[in-house]
Amino acid sequence: MAKVIFYEKPGCGGNARQKALLAAAGHRLEVHDLLSHPWTAGELKSFFGSRPVAEWFNRSAPRVKSGEVVPEELDEITALAVLLADPLLIRRPLLESGHRRETGFDTALIEAWLGPLPSAEVGEGCPKGQEATPCPAPHKPSFP
């Protein structure tokens, strides 16, 4: 099976279930803290490919849910600056295997790329739902 580099928000229950699925499928995981990784704009952009800017963002992030950050209103350069300043806004997990990088845990995409998973029950998004209190942010970065 494949080695998968997995960038997560430590303590995220959804990321824990996603990692468990990948491990159960036989993949070797190399896990990194998405929030403390020293991202560059180019490295981060490489995970988004040709996805629209709005799909780069974690819809469960408090600043997105509150309307403070509206991904649909941002151009690529501004979006990257915002994401670099506040990594909690980055859609997660970020995944890398071989020469490919992806964002989010789209089960169909993952299975087409890495092979079948033991269960398709875990997808993207916070398992607590959109109306739940978000997990605490480890820090409050300044907004550019």
> Per the residue annotation, which of 4, 6, 12, 60 is the catalytic one?
12
How long is the chain? 144
> Helical H runs in the chain?
13-24, 41-45, 62-65, 76-85, 107-114
Is 12 assigned a catalytic role?
Answer: yes
Judge residue 31's burial from the number of C-beta atoms within 10 Å of its C-beta, 0-12 exposed, 13-18 middle, 19 or more buried. middle
Catalogue the active-site residues.
12
